[in-house]
Chain A
């Protein structure tokens, strides 16, 4: 029996890198037939915008240090042990499994944003992968049917509905977020099957931790590379998070529209 205390600390750590790791999870997001665009800024003014709202920077920086310690003291050793114990093929299958279980979140958010065709694609993916993909361990929907996931989350939905990002936050354990994404994260748990199947909060937390540790094991160098290559890791992380989230907000149709305008 794992004691409750040990369990909770494990869970905390797994949460920590969640948003950064999510950045790697939606691999098919960028597969567009037409060239992508930077955003609604023109190429020439791209670097002149100053649109970072970080009023809590000094507090955020403290938590950045805290999470950094947690990463090296606990999450990294856990990940090293896990990676040594579980072969890569299994970890990729587990990754597919976690992705597949989260399909309702994507379906619901596509619906909330009025993207009915995308919602249908993610629903089909869920049906195919849950059956032919053996409980979601494989991804025949992509490999055999060419159906790419359409990742949407409630943070993006809120953005589409017109809610601003709000201040940038660097939370203990959770890592980088904006206020909008924090609300979105809480909202998405309502659409996640694990919330209902695993009724005890600890079980849900265990599930979530396992998901995130598995994800980290597939992208082990992410955090340390970022630290190694930057002069100010806090700012580098903030920029990566904001760039990545803002890019995700731009949908294919919007991107194509902007291409036509150029």
Chain B
């Protein structure tokens, strides 16, 4: 009797485990609400315009950081060097690189005027996924892929690929030659200077 009871519990538990695994939303399902929120913020008339820039950026970055993994991106753009850096240097680099992406891409994103994002499909392999989207700009359809990695139950974006052009790989190639020439400290200096140009 005890044996049967234990077996039942076991079966029940395995069901639980199974169903909870099934309940985790896929990469597209997780990405969609984040992009939706971003668009809502960008279109919100209450925080439109230059005078609300700081407030708007803070709001956007708050949401972006929940779905975009800037740690993962930082690690990838630095490459092999990463593990030789002290945790403090790693953290500081992440701050600088995140700021650069914010300046460059959120800034560009601010000219967004309500074009619809079409979801074209997703592909999952183990803990990686590609979510393919399309956005229309000046009558041109631009394919944008979000490359994601699964951390626990969260699907996190670690690269954006526009018409085959990878954002992370572009920075990685740039940083590779800077690291070779000027080492990590030189790269940090260049990043600091670059970020100042956006102020």
Contact = CB atoms under 8 A, between A and B. Distances in A.
Does chain A bind chain B?
yes
Interface of A: 23-24, 27-38, 43-44, 46-47, 52, 92, 218-219, 225, 228-232, 235-236, 238-240, 243-244, 246-248, 250, 259, 262
A38 B165 CA distance: 9
A62 B161 CA distance: 29
Contacts of B142: 27, 30
B170 A240 contact: yes
Given A35-B123, A231-B175, 15 more contacts: A30-B134, A32-B143, A33-B120, A34-B120, A34-B121, A35-B131, A36-B145, A47-B76, A47-B79, A47-B169, A229-B100, A231-B190, A238-B173, A239-B174, A250-B164
Given A44-B128, A232-B177, A262-B123, A240 B138 contact: no
Contacts of A238: 173
Interface in B59-118: 76, 79, 100, 104-105, 108
A246 B163 CA distance: 10
Nearest to A28: B141
A35 B132 contact: yes
A32 B79 CA distance: 32
A91 to B, nearest CB: 10
Interface of B is mostly: mixed
Interface residues of B, number: 44
11 contacts: A23-B163, A36-B143, A43-B125, A92-B139, A229-B104, A230-B170, A232-B177, A236-B173, A239-B165, A239-B173, A244-B165
Given A27-B140, A30-B141, A231 B164 contact: no
Contacts of A32: 120, 132, 143
> 7 smallest A-B Cβ distances: which pairs?
A247-B164, A30-B143, A27-B140, A229-B104, A35-B121, A35-B132, A243-B165
Contacts of B41: none
Q: Could you say which of A30, A52, A219, A235 has the most chain B C-beta atoms within 10 Å of its C-beta? A: A30
A259 B123 contact: yes
B109 to A, nearest CB: 12
Q: Could you say which of A43, A219, A229, A244 has the most chain B C-beta atoms within 10 Å of its C-beta? A: A229
A34 B171 CA distance: 28
B128 A36 contact: no
B160 interface: no
Interface of B: 76, 79, 100, 104-105, 108, 120-123, 125, 128, 130-132, 134, 138-143, 145, 147, 161, 163-166, 168-175, 177-178, 187, 190-191, 194, 197
A247 B163 contact: yes
Contacts of B175: 231
Contacts of A225: 108
Contacts of B100: 229
A24 B140 contact: yes
A72 B141 CA distance: 28
Given A43-B128, A243-B165, A247-B165, A31 B170 contact: no
Contacts of B194: 231
A228 B104 CA distance: 8
A239 B164 CA distance: 11
B122 A35 contact: yes
Given A35-B120, A43-B128, A236-B174, A27 B139 contact: yes
Contact of B173 (A38, A52, A219): A52
Contact of A235 (B134, B177, B191): B177
A107 to B, nearest CB: 22
Contacts of A46: 166, 169
Q: Could you say which of B130, B131, B147, B170 has the most chain A C-beta atoms within 10 Å of its C-beta? A: B170
A231 B178 contact: yes
B60 to A, nearest CB: 17
A71 B32 CA distance: 39
Given A231-B190, A247-B164, A239 B138 contact: no
Q: Could you say which of B105, B120, B134, B140 has the most chain A C-beta atoms within 10 Å of its C-beta? A: B140
Given A231-B175, A235-B173, A36 B165 contact: no
